[in-house]
Amino acid sequence: MAQLVKDLMHPGIITCQADLTLGRVAQVLIEQHLHALVVADRDSRPLGILSDFDLMAAEWLSTDAKSLEAMRTMTAGELMTTPLDTVEAGVPACDAAQKMRAGGTSRLVVMERGKPVGIISTSDIVAGMMRARPLGRKNVAEVMSRAILVCREETPLCSVARAMTDAHYRSVLVVDANGRPLGVVSGFDMLAYCGEDGCADATAGQAMHEMLTIRPDASLREAADMMIQHHHHRLVVVDPEENEAMPVGMISTFDIVFEMALPSSVWQQ
């Protein structure tokens, strides 16, 4: 039996006011363990959506004092994406997956009888696939995640889905028999394999995308620019003297937003 959007979605909508500052948006995302907020008016009617990727696209890492001050006062309503990308609660989850891929988005607002009732994201669909088939101005090194979830290229995609769900990771590094990095599998990559039978016989090697790498001593601005330019949510951090060795970490949009939400951040001062 096909899983429906309403079976996998997160029920309820967590919103923020349109006049909330971007620094406060970053704090809410971290406090609620979210990657996006629905922006609503004072009558709780949804206006748009604001994600961690949007925050980076705002170029808050600029070293120019004037532009930094302008970004500190920018609000959720000024930066949000509108109109909302939506999907009906009663349609198959694989329909939502295809809509995400077609629209280049990682989440959809779920509608029922004309009203928003929840959110479905790539990670929700990854978890559903697993159940369907059981099994400050710092540099990159100071912000990156040093623990990396790793698998071999022949690993069944259903096993990857389970590992990502259990570990609450949004991506897995794919390596060969010698530990040399080959690519990355993300929840978004898995959308192409979403069907009634989960991910069937697909492997990590089939689903992975080419990884983007960055040096540990690179600035956060460099990392943000690379993510925005290539529409990636994460970069693999490698030692420039050992490009084919095991990476030293990964940095994602969430890592950078986490830094933005810290009390010591320039956004919170």
Residue with the larger pLDDT of the pair 86 and 45: 86
Residue 112: inside a domain, yes or no?
Answer: yes
How far, in Å, CA of 105 to CA of 84, rounded?
11
Sign of the alpha-carbon dihedral angle for 172, 178, 181, 184: negative
The answer on 252 and 146 residing in a single domain is yes
127 token code pair = 């978890």
Sign of the alpha-carbon dihedral angle for 87, 89, 95, 100: positive
Q: What is the separation, in whole angstroms, between the first and last Cα of the chain? A: 52
Closest CA to 259 of 138, 147, 171, 148: 138
Q: Using the 3D structure, point to which of 94, 111, 131 is the last residue of a domain.
A: 131
How far, in Å, CA of 216 to CA of 141, rounded?
5
The predicted structure's pLDDT at residue 135? 39
Split at pLDDT 50, 70, 90, the class of 214 is: very high
Q: Is 215 a residue whose pLDDT tops 70?
A: yes
The answer on 160 and 103 residing in a single domain is no
Q: Which of 13-22, 159-168, 194-203 has the lowest mean pLDDT?
A: 194-203
- pTM of this structure: 0.66
**What is the spatial order of strands in the sheet that 150-152 belongs to?**
150-152, 171-175, 181-186
Closest CA to 250 of 153, 157, 150: 150
Q: Is 196 a residue whose pLDDT tops 50?
A: no
The predicted structure's pLDDT at residue 124? 82
The answer on 9 and 70 residing in a single domain is yes
The answer on 147 and 110 residing in a single domain is no
Place of tokens 């620019």: 225
Chain centroid to CA 102: 17
Split at pLDDT 50, 70, 90, the class of 218 is: very high
262 token code pair = 């810290």
The answer on 119 and 15 residing in a single domain is yes
The answer on 124 and 9 residing in a single domain is yes
Residue with the larger pLDDT of the pair 119 and 265: 119
Residue 268: inside a domain, yes or no?
Answer: no
Secondary structure of residue 9 in the 3-state scheme: coil
How far, in Å, CA of 37 to CA of 25, rounded?
8
Residue 269: inside a domain, yes or no?
Answer: no
156 token code pair = 């069944």
- What's the rounded mean pLDDT across residues 107-130? 83
Total number of domains in the chain:
2
Q: Is 95 a residue whose pLDDT tops 70?
A: yes
83, 48 contact by CB (below 8 A) = yes
Q: Using the 3D structure, point to which of 131, 151, 182 is the last residue of a domain.
A: 131
158 token code pair = 């259903």
Q: Is 71 a residue whose pLDDT tops 50?
A: yes
Say which CATH number the domain at 98 has.
3.10.580.10
Residue 182: inside a domain, yes or no?
Answer: yes
HSE value, Cβ hemisphere, 13 Å, CA-based, for 267: 27
Beta strands 86-88; 107-112: pairing state: parallel
The predicted structure's pLDDT at residue 61? 47
DSSP letter, residue 13: -
Domain assignment of residue 249, given as a range:
140-261
- What's the rounded mean pLDDT across residues 224-253? 85
Residue 266: inside a domain, yes or no?
Answer: no
Q: Is 136 a residue whose pLDDT tops 70?
A: no
The answer on 66 and 112 residing in a single domain is yes
pLDDT digits (tens, 9 = 90+) for 219-236: 887 887 888 788 788 899
Q: Is 132 a residue whose pLDDT tops 90?
A: no
The answer on 91 and 152 residing in a single domain is no
Q: Is 69 a residue whose pLDDT tops 80?
A: no
Q: What average pLDDT does the structure give for the chain?
A: 82
The answer on 150 and 39 residing in a single domain is no
The answer on 85 and 10 residing in a single domain is yes
The answer on 12 and 118 residing in a single domain is yes
The answer on 110 and 37 residing in a single domain is yes
Q: Using the 3D structure, point to which of 131, 161, 188 is the last residue of a domain.
A: 131
The predicted structure's pLDDT at residue 134? 46
The predicted structure's pLDDT at residue 166? 81
The predicted structure's pLDDT at residue 262? 66
HSE value, Cβ hemisphere, 13 Å, CA-based, for 22: 28
- What's the rounded mean pLDDT across residues 160-180? 86
